[in-house]
Structure 1
Amino acid sequence: MSAGGGTKAILAALGANAGIAVAKFVAFLFTGSSSMLAESVHSLADTSNQGLLLLGQRTSRRKATREHPFGFGRDRYFYAFVVALLLFTLGSVFAIYEGIHKIEHPEPLSSPLVAVLVLVVAIALEGYSFRTAIGESRALKGNATWWQFIRQAKAPELPVVLLEDAGALFGLVFALIGVGLSVLTGDPVWDGVGTLGIGVLLGVIAIILIVEMKSLLIGEGAAPDVLDTIVAQLAAGRVERVIHIRTQYLGPDELLIAAKIALTPGLTLAEVAQAIDDAELRVRSKVPSAKLIYLEPDLDRSSISR
């Protein structure tokens, strides 16, 4: 994914969540529904999150400095990690607290029809945002499952938006069920149950994102198929084999490769330099994200000992 990858999905989610947050809060003022209040905070958190993702994309494009010689590509991982923390604190913890409070001290709803109308409109808007994120993700997902895509993606924005939108849709359904059961049964405790369900759902999604973003922030290496491609491209021409190799993503679009390679014995200094240049060109032709490649030439001592 390019540096601006996922921007369309982020902007769609930003616009949808900002409008939905206002509508939900107005509905809460009319109805007093804790589900609507929880959903209002959830949408407000999501709106802030999309802003942070856009900020991460912008700051990650800064040029490398002496203090940060490998650039700022991991800014995108950092801000995605902050998004996960906000989703947990502003979304999950608040909704769980509010749900428990309403279950212990239920209050009757006023004007529930307003809440139902707002929730139905919100489901339609979130569905549009979710469909946009799915459309942008398909080209990158390939043959992988959606779960594999979320686990393996090196660019954080689309997995974050996908999970946020999925959580928002299910949360809206929980809120609709809570409000609906409160009206049908006359027991407002169901509104609190719906709020509690929203909190648990957001907590699960936030924890998944925290785990995945932490892994990216610490530093992940190339996927097995990408690593196999790199080794195959290195071990050609005058490179007899790859003795050992290390890879790490410095950002979604920047892969660092460091390897010790065994060269054909008897090469001149100029031939060694050319062999290294050729190996780098082969790798970059197959793995465009391999922006930084450091190769240490050596002899294949295993063949010499024989």
Structure 2
Amino acid sequence: MAASSKKVIYAALIGNGLIAITKFIASVFTGSSAMMSEGIHSLVDTGNQVLLLLGLKKAKKPADKDYPFGHGKEIYFWSFIVAIMIFAVGAGISIYEGIHNLMDPHPVQNPLINYIVLGLAMIFEGFAWYFAWKEFDKVSGDRGYFETVRKEKNPTFFVVLFEDSAAILGLLVAFIGIALGQWTGLYIFDGIASIIIGIILGVTAAWLAYETKGLLIGESADPKIINSIAGMASNHAAISNVNEVLTLHMGPNYILVNLSVNFKDSLEVASIEQDISKLTDQIKEKHPLVKRVFIEAEE
């Protein structure tokens, strides 16, 4: 899963980097506010890919005395930072550029350059989006797409897909804004397009922040895994009752499990220790994402 998410990020990084350079060059030659906003959009997306790669790298750091459960949540933190970056930088500057253009509208020079750049950008973004969609579709499996976004514990898959989707929508808005300005002679359409691009980025950022917040705070494992663990414990010969099964994702590939159970009164301490060890091994064998299991004996 980590390798697949890295491929998606690298594909988006290369594509967005090249597109950003092209858009900025086009904005200088044409003076288009919408094109400048699109350049900022692609530049922010490029920076976001770097942050996601940084998060994946830091998440691999081994556990130590200060972080006994590892650094898996690093990817959640940096995914949240990506959402803030999209909102603060991408949306903020795009809306500012649009308002500035509305206050002082001016004609777009050499609009053909913009059309060529936007057309090429749509092709590049389309390939990046398709690649991200394929990986996201593999992860979703039998789940619906909205359910996958809510329950997927590796945010890199849907973060990149959201970014690419917003990028394609932004390109369409920029294209329409420039075309309307040229067709009608009303140059405010360029500024309006820039503001709409900023709003698209703001909505995308808000959605990403909402989805990554739960992961950052600490979400439980998939209900199927929880029910499976509860069933294994209930069927264990030494356990008379399962009181509670608590789980926590410490990262995309790290689940912490805490079991509260009642052991049969007739058991000796040595036997209980063996049963705990046996049940722990069974849980980890069936669910490889479970790295630590704590079993609490209650009366």
TM-score normalised per structure 2: 0.96
Aligned counterparts of 2:196 and 2:228: Cα–Cα separation in 1: 45
TM-score normalised per structure 1: 0.94
Larger deviation: 18-27 or 67-76? 67-76
DSSP-derived class of the 2:143 partner: coil
- For 1:124-273, list aligned pairs within 5 A: 124-238=123-237, 239-273=239-273
1:278 and 2:275 are equivalent in the alignment: no
Cα shift at 1:5: 4.1
Cα shift at 1:286: 2.9
Aligned partners of 2:94 and 2:198 also within 8 Å: yes
Cα shift at 1:275: 1.7
Aligned partners of 1:14 and 1:51 also within 8 Å: yes
1:29 and 2:8 are equivalent in the alignment: no
Aligned partners of 1:65 and 1:71 also within 8 Å: yes
Aligned partners of 1:260 and 1:295 also within 8 Å: yes
Q: Deviations over 1:82-118 (max 9, x none)?
A: 1111111111111111112212321110000100110
Equivalent residue letter for 1:227: I
1:294 and 2:294 are equivalent in the alignment: yes
Identical aligned residues as a percent: 37
Aligned partners of 1:4 and 1:57 also within 8 Å: no
Aligned counterparts of 2:4 and 2:219: Cα–Cα separation in 1: 19
Aligned counterparts of 2:191 and 2:274: Cα–Cα separation in 1: 69
Aligned partners of 1:234 and 1:280 also within 8 Å: no
Equivalent residue letter for 1:142: G
Cα shift at 1:272: 1.1
Cα shift at 1:132: 0.8
For structure 2, which runs of at least 5 residues remain unmatched after alignment?
Answer: none
DSSP-derived class of the 1:6 partner: helix
Equivalent residue letter for 1:189: I
Aligned partners of 2:226 and 2:245 also within 8 Å: no
Q: CA RMSD in A?
A: 1.3
Aligned partners of 1:41 and 1:91 also within 8 Å: yes
**Structure-2 residue corresponding to 1:14:** 13
For structure 1, which runs of at least 5 residues remain unmatched after alignment?
Answer: 300-306
User: Number of aligned pairs?
Assistant: 298
DSSP-derived class of the 2:246 partner: strand
**Structure-2 residue corresponding to 1:112:** 111
DSSP-derived class of the 2:290 partner: coil
**Structure-2 residue corresponding to 1:304:** none
Aligned partners of 1:18 and 1:44 also within 8 Å: yes
Larger deviation: 220-229 or 174-183? 220-229
Aligned partners of 1:249 and 1:256 also within 8 Å: yes
**Structure-2 residue corresponding to 1:302:** none
Cα shift at 1:235: 1.6
